[in-house]
Amino acid sequence: MKKWLALGGPLLAATAGAWALRCWQRRTDFDGDGLLSPGPASAGLVALVLLAGAGFLLLIRALLREPGPRGYLAAFALPHRGLVAVYLLAGGLLVAAGLLGLRDQSAGLSAPLSTRVLSVALVPTGLDLALVGWLGAQRQEAQGRFAWPLLLPGWCGCVWLISAYQAHTAQPSAMSYAFYFLGALCAVGACYMIASFSFERPRPRWAAWLCAMGILLLATAVADAAEAGDAHQGLVCLGYLLYLAAQLSCLLYRAQTPAQLEPWTPPPAPAAEADPAEAGPAENADPAPAPSADGPENNETEVSEHE
């Protein structure tokens, strides 16, 4: 709990500050055409993001050790089963975003191909986040468990990156979508760092830092979506934000309180019942006897000579 407060307190304060500064920046530093006129809000937001990134790096270096627990559940087992509700909420937001995108496409609204693919991918990814929460509530650990459920958010995030760039690349100012794109990039990196625990390649410091920066930057993207009325972007950002927050909470908690895990052994494979008629020769069967020197050919020769 102390480690969560040591990082969670500054993270919450920085996230609230970034959201407020982004709202202020959009109202004062952007004109009607989307052009940026840098002012105090822009300077304050950039400074906050840079200082927060450096501060989180120092805090995480002091709180977490490398390489840390090698298994996924040893580092991300849920402190209590009630936290599954956060994963369910995050997954529900992604499913809602996917269904909203599919509805817009069926209504004939034009959208890039990457946005259409993203809408399709968000539905199984949302269901997968609920599965990740349920798996995290288990108390049995073994090498290589939960690999594909942990990879699916990263796969979907790659499509999200392409869609985020294509949807905003025509805007006149890069500052209008830079924080959103960087937040998506940090979220995707965090998803892959979390999945690395399932492959016995843990990077707890990188995972925690990318989670913290993803939460901070995605909060500014939520402010952009609320200002522009883009419900699809807002739901995607909130879904990934909650997922990263839940995983970061588990990682910090388990860094201080190791999980009591039981060894897990896979169920035995069913014995194959082979048909004796179709079965091949046994491994230890004696080889066929070689023809002796007194075989039938030699006997026939001898008989003919006697005749």
Q: Where are the domains of the chain?
A: 2-263
DSSP string computed for 109-174: ----HHHHHHHHHHHHHHHHHHHHHHHHT--EE-TTTTHHHHHHHHHHHHHHHHHHHHHHTTSS-G
Residue 255: the pLDDT is 85
Residue 4: the pLDDT is 65
DSSP 30: B
Residue pair 135/149 in contact (Cβ under 8 Å)? The answer is yes
Q: Quick one: tokens of 105?
A: 């496409």
DSSP string computed for 243-300: HHHHHHHHHHHHHHS----EE--PPPPPPP---TTT----TTPPPPPPPPTTSHHHHH
Question: Residues, the chain, total?
Answer: 307
Count CB-CB contacts under 10 A for residue 172: 12
At which residue do the structure tokens 């539905």 appear? 123
Residue 141: the pLDDT is 74
**b/e map of 248-281 (b: 16 or more CB within 10 Å)?**
bbbbbbbbeeebebeeeeeeeeeeeeeeeeeeee
Query: What residues contact 118, with CB distance under 8 A and at least 6 apart?
Result: 98, 101, 156, 159, 160, 163, 236
Residue pair 38/165 in contact (Cβ under 8 Å)? The answer is no
Q: What is the CA radius of gyration of the chain?
A: 30
Pick from 70, 125, 81, 144: nearest CA to 240: 125
Question: What does the alpha-carbon distance between residue 110 and residue 113 come to, in Å, rounded to a whole number?
Answer: 9
Q: Quick one: tokens of 65?
A: 């050790």
pLDDT in tens, the chain (307 residues): 576 678 888 999 999 999 999 999 888 888 776 777 888 888 999 999 999 999 999 999 988 877 777 788 888 989 888 899 999 999 999 999 999 988 887 776 667 788 889 999 999 999 999 999 998 888 777 766 778 889 999 999 999 999 988 887 777 777 888 899 999 999 999 999 999 988 878 889 999 999 999 999 999 999 988 888 889 999 999 999 999 999 999 999 988 888 787 766 666 766 655 445 544 554 444 555 555 545 444 444 444 444 3
Residue 285: the pLDDT is 47
Residue 95: the pLDDT is 96
| Entry pTM | 0.81
Question: What does the alpha-carbon distance between residue 75 and residue 293 come to, in Å, rounded to a whole number?
Answer: 73
What values do phi and psi take at 77, rounded to 5?
A: -60, 135
